[in-house]
Amino acid sequence: MTGTLTIAGLGPGSDALVTPEVTAALAAATDILGYAPYVTRVPPRAGLKLHSSDNREELQRASEALRLASEGGKVVVVSSGDPGVFAMASAVFEALEQAPQWQNISIRVLPGITAMLAAAARVGAPLGHDFCAINLSDNLKPWAVIEKRLRLAAEADFSIAMYNPRSASRPEGFGRALALLKDAGCGERLVIFARAISAADERIETVTLNEARPEMADMRTLVIVGNSQTRRVGRWVYAPRQVR
């Protein structure tokens, strides 16, 4: 097998936040696969085939990428942010586990800047102490699991980065998450709504959890709930390094 498979993170949106390593992989690729909005970020050129698919076709996409690489292609699977954070790296290895005939393919994972880290940098250092990331989509896990993890994260006093907070098909989940955190005693914590980070329509708003409303988020929004000691200093938000 002379082909290769690269799983690459395109960062949160701006081309300036794509790493040089990822840029080089895209330039050498024969095939790019990914969710349609991410594939459109890759400029077409001679000798490059772009394969777009729906966001719920991760395993099919991963299997197709493995097949193309087995046939000698220089294949790149793209994700936004980092491919290992709620993205395509896990899907590729899940598909690989089911297809032992492809396990000798040369595979590498190239990290990218996550929405979580890009949003945190915009506002200061809200992830400056212990934190966790929770995907609020219940497409691949039961809502009861999400609620349990939110409850335990609040109890442990983590800052919480919440991905995929509110979609058109499941608008009620984010409201339930906010209510759960309020019931857990987090009402005075600071909450950062970071929408379209690094894109032209970027918007950031910081409020307390008691002031937060479900309609303040959509699928392009990354939400960070601070821990109990997260504070403002001027226009900045940060979590102190020392726990008191």
Contact criterion met (CB below 8 Å) for 165 and 86 = no
Model confidence, pTM: 0.93
**Is the predicted pLDDT of residue 1 greater than 60, yes or no?**
no
Q: List where CATH 3.30.950.10 sits in the chain.
A: 116-238
What CATH class is the domain 4-113? alpha beta
pLDDT tens digits for range 136-186: 999 899 999 999 999 999 999 999 999 999 988 788 999 999 999 999 999
| Edge-to-edge strand ranges of the sheet holding 231-233 | 124-125, 236-238, 231-233
Res 55: pLDDT: 85
Q: List where CATH 3.40.1010.10 sits in the chain.
A: 4-113
**Is the predicted pLDDT of residue 39 greater than 80, yes or no?**
yes
Contact criterion met (CB below 8 Å) for 109 and 84 = yes
57 Cβ contact partners less than 8 Å away, ≥ 6 residues apart: none
Architecture of domain 116-238: 2-Layer Sandwich (3.30)
Paired with 108 in beta bridges are 6
